[in-house]
Amino acid sequence: MVAASADEGTNSLMEGPDEHGRFGRFGGRFVPETLVPACAELEDAFRSAWADDGFRAEFHSLLTDYAGRPSPLTDCVNLSTELGFRILLKREDLNHTGSHKINNVLGQTLLAKRMGKSRIVAETGAGQHGVATATAAAYFGQECVVYMGEVDIARQALNVYRMQLLGAEVRPARSGSRTLKDAVNEAMREWVASVESSYYCLGSVMGPHPYPWMVREFHRTIGREAFDQSTALLDGGLPDVVVACIGGGSNAVGIFSGFVDTDVELVGVEPAGGAAVARGVPGVVHGSMSFLMQDEFGQVQEAQSVSAGLDYPGVGPEHAFLADVGRARYEAVTDSEVLDAFELLSRTEGIIPALEPAHGLAWMIRARDELAGKTVLLNLSGRGDKDVAQVQAIRQGDPAALDTVDFSRTNGDAV
């Protein structure tokens, strides 16, 4: 494996990836022969759409009029006093459907419409990306098929019903461990089989080129807004540190993109049980080269976290690149730190966060000495309504509530 050289430093969030979809030595397109034409067609379509002012204007008005953007920036006076540094929150929790995910699915379903594809195929783990995709497909009047592992379907009755309510068909993935990675495989198979009419809507900055690039572009609005809002609030200044949680890495790439060309420190926070960047090794998963958790035999390891939304063994290739060149730093926090952070933000600011961004806050609490006197911007990627029952059960001492297999994956999603 060659190390990323200095001249690959230009291959950054603003410039990259290269024409092969590589971020330094990561990314690319590692797919079976049958998927190559579909990826190439998608790349061409996205390239032309993204160069078209009309497409961008339509996307922008969807973000404004349907998703409710721009999301506000909240200056947290109480929490700042408590922790000894200034905390700003980028409020992605206030978007329609309750997280940043809506940016990506609106971009992709709009692209599908432009490509003349009337049928959307998606994968989902615990259901959040499936629900977001079904929402956008309903808006556009598109047929929507969501693959979901049989095991996840059994655990996620409410999200399955939500998707059905939104008009989507939920299809069980019955192979392998019957969870997220099997749902991805089934969705990709279905995409190839019906590529004339179908569009594959992937849920994070992962998968084969052009997905990591395209999904980043659809989330770039988070970073652009946050940059403008910070400079307005801080009289032309910037925060010292920008923090985001990492599942596949899309909300983090979105907010990092606004600050990557500045001196602001970038910190990605993973669950200790799924620390792909902090403790993973290079490898190929779901079509691109990145860091992932492997066992001693090179098999992809199951991730474990109280937050199902971060329960993914790999991470998007751009994060592997940013870690490799030292532009971003990656930290891991434990479930117990996350639960404390979840409660602290609720109590001090009246904002119940999703368990995923509570990871970011958990690291900030741990690093409070290092952060003393600084200004820290946290991407609050989603709201916590979906996690309240789980946290209550954990706090009431239900051991199953912490068990990732039986209960903790009932809310949230990996991709």
CB of 28 or CB of 249, closer to ligand PLP: 249
Q: Which of 39, 100, 144, 201 is catalytic?
A: 100
Q: How far apart are CA 10 and CA 366, in angstroms?
A: 33
The active-site residue out of 20, 60, 76, 219 is 76
Q: Rounded to the nearest whole angstrom, what is the least distance from the CB of residue 77 to ligand PLP in the complex?
A: 24
Of 138, 149, 105, 87, the closest CA to residue 377 belongs to 87
User: Of 183, 187, 134, 140, which Cα lies nearest the Cα of 163?
Assistant: 134
Residue 92 tokens read as 């992605």
Angle among Cα 277, 121, 413 to the nearest 5 degrees reads: 40
129 is catalytic: no
Q: Which residues pair with 147 in a beta bridge?
A: 123, 171
Tell me whether strands 73-75 and 86-91 are parallel, antiparallel or unpaired. antiparallel
| Cis amide bond preceding 70, omega within 30 | yes
223 vs 412, which CB is nearer to ligand PLP? Answer: 412
Instruction: Tell the smallest beta-carbon distance from residue 207 to ligand PLP (Å).
Output: 12
Q: Which is nearer to ligand PLP, 317 or 412 (CB)?
A: 412
Give the H or E element holding residue 104: helix 101-114
| Residue closer to ligand PLP (CB basis): 8 or 356 | 356
209 vs 219, which CB is nearer to ligand PLP? 219
- To ligand PLP, the closest distance from the beta carbon of 354 in angstroms equals 4
Q: Which parts of this chain interact with ligand PLP (CB under 6 A)?
A: 99, 101, 128, 204, 245-251, 309-310, 354, 356-357, 381-382, 412-413
Active site residue 245: no
How do the residues of the chain divide into helix, strand and coil, expressed in percent and rounded to 5? 50, 20, 35
| Shortest reach from residue 44's CB to ligand PLP, in Å | 25
The SS3 assignment for 199 reads strand
Q: Residue 390: how many CA atoms within 13 Å on its side-chain side?
A: 27
Phi/psi of residue 358, nearest 5 degrees: -60, -20
**Identity of the residue, 35 or 310, whose beta carbon is nearer to ligand PLP in the bound complex:** 310
The neighbour count for residue 346, using CB atoms within 10 Å, is 16
Q: What is the DSSP string of 28-97?
A: -----GGGHHHHHHHHHHHHHHHT-HHHHHHHHHHHHHTS-PSPPEEE-HHHHHHHTSEEEEEEGGGSGG
Q: What is the smallest separation between the CB atom of 253 and ligand PLP, expressed in angstroms?
A: 8
Closest distance to ligand PLP from the beta carbon of 196 (Å):
29
Residue nearest to ligand PLP (CB): 382
Active-site residues: which are they?
76, 100
